[in-house]
Structure 1
Amino acid sequence: MSSISQTADGRSTRWDDHREARRTELARAARKVVHHHGPDVSMDDIAAAAGTSKSIVYRYFVDKTGVQLAVAEEVVADIRAALVDAAQTADGPRAALRAMVGTYLAMIESSPSVYTFVTRDGSSEHVVDSITDLITAAGGGNRLWAAGAVGFVRGTAELWLRTEPREDPDQLADQITRWLWTGPVAQLGRESHPQPTTPQ
């Protein structure tokens, strides 16, 4: 009986592994077609890109929201890895902040359609929460500050993506870093009302 049970368990594990691999494959195909054709692609478009039928896509994801969440998992993993690398290779906390902001801007600019796809229709919580957790850990455990910083960067970045002509991403990353480091009100106040130079 034990031998039969082990055989059944082995088959179940192999099927689970196969199913997960196939799901990842379909999510990556969806990400690719969204990147090339925009966030409004249909389930038919996704199925065609994956070389399968729409019914198979529905079998793995139930609906388009399921596809969004699966693609978001892929995107979040890539963003997290890039942000961790940026922070770990920076020289000091301010440089780490600047590196992470610059990396985030570069990644969303490299594929704005995919970014829009995974954050539209209230599907952004997974992305935001994951990045907030990362910033919380990097910032000494202050989740409130991390949530505020992520929200600030996200809001600024999304407006930037919609703006034409678009500001240089390096300049924007420098500005966001100054805002976060010194506080946007203080920074804007200094820029609008520069202090007079004291004669020596």
Structure 2
Amino acid sequence: MQANAPRPDGRATRWAGQHARRRAEFVEAALNAVTEHGPDASTELIAQQAGVARTRLYKHFDDAGDLQRAVARRIGELIVEELEPVWNPQGTPNQMITLAVDTHLRWLTEHGNLYRYLLRQPPGDGTDGPGGIRNTLGEHLGTLFGAYLRAFGIDAGPADTTAFGLVGYVDSATHRWLDRPGAVGRPELVRQLSGTVWVVLDGILREGGVELDPDAALPLPHELPAPG
């Protein structure tokens, strides 16, 4: 290193760390405000929840849109974190599917205001808002289903479109149910959605010559014997 090379500015580093922490704190305050007051919670309510004046928020966010995108991103992270067990499946096909659907539906039921807030966000660049979450879930499911298709010696081409279609189906049905639950309880909805998901996946497997018992234990893709 040259003797006259500039040293890192410690103050700038500390400010960057403090800025990131404050942003995270304000996002958490926003989550609490939305949970308590609904998806229309104003910036003023968020500032009150954080215990600061509204003008203080905008020292850490470019504008209201920047705050909304940060909140939407955090909601998406919470949903993906909740579904973590789904990405390491075990048990029977029915158990795997039911776990995924029930976990997703339970989170949305318990955090309905956060989900409705997410739905109101514009598409943006595809990484935030409901579209970004569907993309993330679709990619996870597509990777898992594709691994199973390849393990069975079946063309994995349909995996991606099937996964995104199923995520869209479950998401749309759930959205409708949250707004108009009617006489259908959550367990019944989980049963209906899981059954439809299995019918779609089973159809693709059968086209490839594979018949699975949905109630028999299914090993992970890398544990399956090589196709003959």
Please report the TM-score for the alignment, with normalisation by the length of structure 2: 0.72
User: Deviation of residue 114 (structure 1)?
Assistant: 0.9
Contact kept, 8 Å, 1:98 with 1:174, in 2: the verdict is yes
Structure with higher RCO (Cα < 8 A, 6+ apart) = 2
Contact kept, 8 Å, 1:39 with 1:117, in 2: the verdict is yes
Return 5+ residue gaps in structure 2 as ranges: 123-128, 148-158, 204-228
Contact kept, 8 Å, 2:29 with 2:49, in 1: the verdict is yes
Q: 1:134 corresponds to which letter in structure 2?
A: H
- Further displaced range: 50-59 or 24-33: 50-59
Cross-structure match for 1:39: 39
Q: Distance in 1 between matches of 2:3 and 2:193?
A: 61
Q: The residue matched to 1:28 in structure 2 has which SS?
A: helix
Q: Determine which structure has the larger helix proportion and give its number.
A: 1
| C-alpha spacing 1:166/1:6, structure 2 compared with 1 (3 Å) | farther
- Tell me the alpha carbon deviations over residues 166-200 of structure 1, each in whole angstroms, 9 at most, x when there is no partner: 5211211111011111149x9xxxxxxxxxxxxxx
Aligned-pair identity in percent equals 25
- Further displaced range: 67-76 or 32-41: 67-76
Contact kept, 8 Å, 2:109 with 2:178, in 1: the verdict is yes
Q: Does 1:118 align with 2:154?
A: no
Q: Distance in 2 between matches of 1:50 and 1:177?
A: 40
- Tell me the alpha carbon deviations over residues 74-113 of structure 1, each in whole angstroms, 9 at most, x when there is no partner: 2222221221214525413432221111011000110111
Q: Does 1:178 align with 2:195?
A: yes
Aligned residues between the structures: 184
Q: Distance in 2 between matches of 1:167 and 1:3?
A: 72
Contact kept, 8 Å, 2:97 with 2:194, in 1: the verdict is yes
Q: Distance in 2 between matches of 1:15 and 1:125?
A: 33
- Residue of 132, 140, 160 corresponding to 2:138: 132
> RMSD value over aligned CA atoms?
2.4
Q: Distance in 2 between matches of 1:89 and 1:145?
A: 18
Return 5+ residue gaps in structure 1 as ranges: 187-200
Q: 2:180 corresponds to which letter in structure 1?
A: T
| C-alpha spacing 1:15/1:166, structure 2 compared with 1 (3 Å) | farther
Contact kept, 8 Å, 2:72 with 2:121, in 1: the verdict is no
Cross-structure match for 1:61: 61
Contact kept, 8 Å, 1:33 with 1:46, in 2: the verdict is yes
Q: 1:22 corresponds to which letter in structure 2?
A: R
Q: Does 1:156 align with 2:162?
A: no
Contact kept, 8 Å, 2:87 with 2:140, in 1: the verdict is no
